Structure 1
């Protein structure tokens, strides 16, 4: 199972026939295992990594660290579930360190992200404080290197 998952994680469009060849499992068994993992929620979704800069779309990403206050009735899961419902939020993680949760958010501008933090996150009762880090450049996303080596455009000077 792990081997099939690793192959699919790196190339979700790979044919079961190729996975069968790589693993030594029959194509029918590969297809059956994949279907079973989809039904059990092990495989949650097939994803495409998009370089939005190259696509000509401008998005601003930020990592927001959140310190929360827990009460007797709720734990981290309840606030994380609430935060995850915002469409701006791309990921929510429980983290160690000075803060409790880490969000990755996407907006059309820094102003949009700042408004989201000030109006939607900071106003939540359980939120004690936030720290926002704007992403300046992404070099690698979900295992995909997002840049090519730049070639100097200057011509060589001959003596």
Structure 2
């Protein structure tokens, strides 16, 4: 799909802040609000803009008990469909938040969110490992999130006071 410079500019702005009011977005790209709304609607209809999301730092919520695991999966691809069929079976599980085809030792990278390590373990042993095409898995548990989707979670505040020495 070919996009205009204005459409690409809209995507770049919305990727940084999806909550920009249409009025402000229009000013930023140098268009009127009506044209801007039409451009955004077209991008949504064509599935270029797939979804708007809020990025939450769950680690700051005392009562949150969630855990994120990244699972490397080695798969035997099927003739005619390659990795797509098994990837689709995997992403249909409610625990799975993302699936990527990767280069390297493992074929798929699967991200899972659950309430506990035991829940992740049950997912791997009862659901993921039992799929016909899955040869092996390696599970990594996320301990701390520093940066996600270009957003740094904890930035140090710079001390802007002038240093005074005796």
TM-score normalised to structure 1 length = 0.89
| Unmatched 5+ stretches in structure 2 | 1-6, 158-166
Is residue 11 of structure 2 the alignment partner of residue 11 of structure 1?
no
Cα RMSD (Å): 1.3
Q: Which residue of 1 aligns with 2:41?
A: 35
Q: Which residue of 1 aligns with 2:162?
A: none
Separation (CA, whole Å) in 1 of partners of 2:54 and 2:45: 21
| Unmatched 5+ stretches in structure 1 | 151-159
Question: Shift in Å at residue 71 of structure 1?
Answer: 2.5
Separation (CA, whole Å) in 1 of partners of 2:106 and 2:18: 34
Aligned residue pair count? 150
Q: Which residue of 1 aligns with 2:58?
A: 52
Q: Secondary structure at the match of 1:36?
A: helix
Question: Shift in Å at residue 74 of structure 1?
Answer: 3.1
TM-score normalised to structure 2 length = 0.86
Deviates more, 1:67-76 or 1:98-107: 67-76
Separation (CA, whole Å) in 2 of partners of 1:78 and 1:68: 11
Q: Which residue of 2 aligns with 1:154?
A: none
Separation (CA, whole Å) in 1 of partners of 2:81 and 2:43: 31
102, 105, 121: which is aligned to 1:114? Answer: 121
Q: Residues 9-32 of structure 1: CA distance to partner in whole angstroms, max 9, x if unpaired?
A: 111111111111111122111100
Q: Residues 90-111 of structure 1: CA distance to partner in whole angstroms, max 9, x if unpaired?
A: 1000000001000111111111
Runs of 4+ in 1 over 6 A off after TM superposition: none
